[in-house]
Structures are given as C-alpha cells and as structure tokens.
Structure 1
Amino acid sequence: MNEGLVVLVRGVIGFFTLLIFARILGKQQISQLDFFDYILGITIGSIAATLTTDLSSRAWPHWVGLFTWAALGYLMEIVTNKWVFMGKYIDGEPTIVIMNGKIMEDALRKMKFRAADLLQMLRNKDIFDLNQVEYAIIEPNGQLSVLKKSEYEPITLKDMKKKVQQAAISTELIYNGVIFHQNLKELGKDERWLMKELKKYNIKRPSEVFLATLDDNGTFYVDKYKDDLKKIKDIGDYKGPY
C-alpha cells in the first residue's frame, strides 16, 4: 500500500512537471518534430517514467535529470532563435533533391536517401510521375515539399474545357545504371526500344542514367548522373559569419 502511494505521488509530480516543461518548450515538439526533438521527447518521457516507478532510488536525482534535459532543450531553442546560423547545424536546413525536374543524386547520397525513398515520398504527395515535379525539397524534419510544374497544377474552372490525361503509375526501367529487364518485359518493351528512347536524350549507355521510368500513358522520364545544370540552387537560410 505504501509503495502504491509513493508511485501515485511520484506520478502526480512527474505529470505536472512534464506539463510545465511542455508549455515552456512550446509547440515545436509537435509541429516541427525533427530527429533531435524526437530523441529529446523520448528521453524526457523515459526519465519521467523512471521517476514514477523506480522505487529503488530517490526521486530527486530523476527529477534533476528531467529538469536538465528540459532546460538544455529550451536552451537550444533560444540559441537557434537568437543566432540563425546555429540553426543550420542544430536543426539542419532544407535540401533540394529535385531541381528543374532533375534528381540531385549527390544531395540524395549525402542524406542517405535512395531513389526508392524519394519515389515513395512523392507517391505520398499523390505524384506518380517525376515529369510533373519542378522542385522537391527535404525539410529539416524529414518531410518532403513539392512544387509541381505549372502545367500540372490543379485545374481551375477556366481550364475545365481542356482535355486532361488520365493519371498513371510509373515503373522503374533503369536505376543506378542497371536495366530492369523484367519491368521492360511486363510493359511490353525491350532493350532495343529503351536504347532508342535514351538516344533522344543523347544518352549512349545505361550507365549514364541514374533513374528512368515509364508510366501506363507511355510517358518516359529519364534522369542522368550529369544533369548539366548551370547553377545548383541553395535555399539554406543563412550561411553563417564566414
């Protein structure tokens, strides 16, 4: 009975302590949940659980640990708000992964992303054809933001008279320079047809291709390792005092 009462009292203390810390830390824990915030939230919750149920030790060391983690999290928020360039290193910055319809392979590799991961995130945005994408940006919290090409923006009443092509799902034909012969066969195509399509883009060998897809409407998309972009856009907020 005494142990139950102790757990109850500790639970009440831990609950209201977390409530106060959550109000101090603000809504960023929910609205902008990046990896650091995720770990911070888990750690604070774990310490609060230990504070409540670990009767083999005193409560105050756990409470000190809880206060320390919450205080450091609050300090990091102050630092990133006051010195913008510090947010680049603490919170991270947005990264362009598709520019002018071309995949930025180096950016994907740096972020440990695969083309399959990018395609999945695009599908979550209801985009099944890479030809529709003007820009795609991985935000610091890991979410994908997409700017479609103008011709693929939602139809307005003014556009209702125009004939709209039925949406289709794309199938990978080449990835990392490797031809997927099985996918070609399922689409009723062969390697000769594929090489003919690649020649239209001045591509002589599949090894030059990072990703090539074909949808059910016959729309072909290809992204080369060398995208020939004159200038890579950087959308980082602040470069820092250097």
Structure 2
Amino acid sequence: MKAFYFLISLLALASSVAFAYDPSPLQDFCVAINDTKTGVFVNGRFCKDPKLVNANDFFFQGLGRPANTLNPLGSGVTPVTVHELLGLNTLGVALARADFVPGGLSPPHFHPRASEILVVLEGTLYVGFVGSNGNNCDNPLFAKVLHKGDVFVFPMGLIHFQLNVGYGDAVAISGFGSQNPGLFLIANATFGSKPEISPEVLTKAFQLNEDIIRYLQKTFWL
C-alpha cells in the first residue's frame, strides 16, 4: 500500500512539473506577422506562412550603435523583443542593449514575464534587486558593483535597477527569458497612470503630504 501511495505521489509530482513549462514547439519557427489575413494566431501574435519566411525575419541590425542617453535619466535602451525581431515569436527569448552616461540610471522597474541576465561590456554599474516579503526578511536588497565582464541575474517580477557609478560611459547587454518580457516602471505607473490614482490612496500608501503627491503626479515621467 505504501508503494501505491508513493507511485501516486510520484505521478502527481511529474504531472505538476510537466505543466509548469511551455509545451515543446511543433514546428521550427513561427515568425510573427501583423497581417491577420495571411497568418495563424499563436501565443499573442499571428504567424507568417512558412513558405514566405526569409533570413531577414531572423535578423536585427542596430545593437552596435549606442542608444540615446540625452534625457534626465542619462540612460537609453535598445530592445530586441518580438516587436523588433519578428522571428523571436514563440522562441521564448529576447535581449536589449543599455547605455549609460556617468551617473546614468535605469530606474526601479520589473519585467512581469521574464527573468533577466545582464553582462557589463564597458564601464562600472551598481545593480540590484529587491526580494519580496517572507522568510523572516522583509524586502531584502541584493546589490553588487559590476565591472567589465561581470554578470548579474534579476529574477522575474522583482524590482531592480542599474546605475553607472564609473567616470566613463557604461554599456550592458541583457538577455530575457521571454519574447516579450514587458516593462513596468515603478514611478511611472504609480504617479503617471492614466487616469491618475486617487491622491488619497497615495498619501496613505507613501505617508506623504497631498501637495507632494499632486506634484509627483504632474511630473513628466520618462
């Protein structure tokens, strides 16, 4: 009888593990297409007829050039998701180039659909992420100063940031475990939502004067 229950438990575990992952692809590729008349809808995008696919569907040119950093944050990102590279559709990966002037910041944000792995190509970055509540430790910060060649991982859905603490420009490449990782900027979403969140909610949440909340809501968020 014990062996029977052990077998049932093992099968249940195997089933839960199996359903925790996406199914294996049933074709080599599924290049995204915006024309709904000539495609098949798969995982949020329509697929191009395989007979019409060519090498350019899997090609992106532009990561060799720095992104625009002429903004108050002093940083810029060149994304390569399924929106920029249609051949990424259903492949579960994406990447981005991030450029920073000295003092440049990628402000606190998170990606709702992907973990991120970052490698520094040039410069010095102070990076980190904040964990959730639990395990007798509320919102722990995991942070490091990275130099050229260093790698850091940001778990999916956790708030993280990057700051150039060096004297020169910094460049990093990030890989994502999703074709469309998404981006949720904390300040933008909190104070720049349309329509705006009630100031009563934000004054109590942040323990700030309503005048400060009104000021933040009128700020132009990048």
User: What TM-score, normalized by structure 1, do the two folds share?
Assistant: 0.23
Larger Rg: 1
Which structure dedicates a bigger proportion of its chain to helix? 1
User: What TM-score, normalized by structure 2, do the two folds share?
Assistant: 0.25
